[in-house]
Amino acid sequence: ASPSSTRIDLDGNPIKPLTICMIGAGGFIGSHLCEKLMSETSHKVLALDVYNDKIKHLLEPESLPWNGRIHFHRLNIKNDSRLEGLIKMADLVINLAAICTPADYNTRPLDTIYSNFIDALPVVKYCSETNKRLIHFSTCEVYGKTIGSYLPKDSPLRQDPAYYMLKEDVSPCIFGSIEKQRWSYACAKQLIERLVYAEGAENGLEFTIVRPFNWIGPRMDFIPGIDGPSEGVPRVLACFSNNLLRGEPLKLVDGGESQRTFVYIKDAIEAVLLMIENPARANGHIFNVGNPNNEVTVRQLAEMMIQVYSKVSGTQPPETPTIDVSSKEFYGEGYDDSDKRIPDMTIINKQLEWNPKTSLWDLLESTLTYQHRTYAEAIKKVIAQPIAS
Ligand code: NAD
Ligand code: UDP
């Protein structure tokens, strides 16, 4: 649809152009959501973040077709009095801001808890006080570990979906002990979910909570030493991309046995747009957003990425394709892991008629093509540089 044609919601009603206050708009998900809103809708975006590198292409030059519909406000929501005014200007608030890389959860637990709970509080409060609709980004990690993970290894019940399928309105939240600081993130996200939900129940806040299940694609995180710190540890897609770009073995944490389902960012963004444009169907709901058909172990992900990268870059896979590392060595003390994450899709299917489309192979092919095109030359230069003495 072109931005000028009137958009229609799932119930056949025309959609009025909205002003959206998007907090964390400069991140991975925010950049894709801004892109979608600019190219396919006539909604306006007040884009708030401390960085704008990932949305620069949408902000400049002034002659872009959506000129005037997206405005960037560089601010840290921790300490900026402009936040309240920007929320007041909007019809809808989307909060994406968070510290959300596992390497931080056990090494910077205070920053993680403050970012995911304390810093989100004023946003919820202003929305509730000024009757603004809120779409809050939580995480699939609020489910923690599966019930099945506590059964004996050889129990046949482990194969029964009742023991692993993650359902918004049924599954419990199961975290490790306090010493396992990995769970600081999940716990902070759980408490902010409960707060948003309670604001809905007691004060009538119109809200939607999103639980992303490993959304991946271009612009996710950073490549260490290129557009992020050399010692930084991003999420698995960027870690493995970095290894592939440098021709190094991919590091499998604790054997790479954990299971994940990966969804293509462009599929997931379709779901978010449906939430934005169908408030009557989305309000009061918590939605899993993932692709239950794309389940792999981390080891299988590594093997597939090696194959795909070899194809798209025309290079040979490294002689030693993978190496095992302990989680203590890789992440430090206090790391723990989610064993398995398959989203139940019943609620989002019913409310928003959404289904993911892209297979894991296809999404890796387009993502690794992007990684190669964006970073291969820069990596070559860095590798060629003599180490400073
Ligand atoms: P991201 O790190 O790329 O984006 C977060 C953005 O928020 C960053 O640009 C960051 O600069 C900004 N931000 C953080 N603190 C801020 C502050 N105090 N003031 C202003 N801006 C601030 O991460 P993402 O993958 O785009 O994730 C967005 C949201 O989705 C997060 O809430 C995250 O917990 C959630 N989530 C994402 C995934 C996924 O698969 N990508 C999975 C689970 C949950
Ligand atoms: N992982 C890995 N090697 C890496 C990076 C991550 O084996 O270089 C594993 C990590 O231990 C976890 C999975 O990959 O089991 C997914 O990690 P990610 O950081 O993407 O986030 P998560 O899905 O745990 O939130």
The conformation of residue 320, written as its DSSP 8-state character, comes to S
Residues with C-beta less than 6 Å from any ligand 2 atom = 102, 141, 214, 235-236, 239, 251-253, 256, 258, 260, 298, 337-338
User: Interhelix angle for 298-313 vs 236-246, to 10°?
Assistant: 40
How far, in Å, CA of 212 to CA of 24, rounded? 15
How far, in Å, CA of 212 to CA of 287, rounded? 8
CA of residue 315 relative to chain centroid, distance? 30
Residue 49 Cβ inside 6 Å of ligand 1? The answer reads yes
The conformation of residue 292, written as its DSSP 8-state character, comes to T
Q: What confidence tens digit (pLDDT) does each residue in 23-54 have?
A: 999 999 999 999 999 999 999 999 999 999 99
For strand 19-23 and strand 322-325, is the pairing parallel, antiparallel, or unpaired? unpaired
pLDDT of residue 1: 46
Q: How far is the CA of 224 from the centre of ligand 2 (A)?
A: 16
For strand 207-212 and strand 133-137, is the pairing parallel, antiparallel, or unpaired? parallel
Atom of ligand 2 minimally distant from the CA of 101: 19
Q: Chain-wide mean pLDDT for the chain?
A: 96
User: SS3 for 303?
Assistant: helix
pLDDT of residue 4: 54
Q: What confidence tens digit (pLDDT) does each residue in 194-246 have?
A: 999 999 999 999 999 999 999 999 999 999 999 999 999 999 999 999 999 99
Number of other residues whose CB lies within 10 A of the CB of residue 29 = 25
* CATH number for region 98-374: 3.40.50.720
Q: How far is the CA of 239 from the centre of ligand 2 (A)?
A: 9
Tokens representing 147 are 């019930």
What are the structural domain ranges in the chain? 98-374
**Which residues are 211's β-sheet partners?**
288
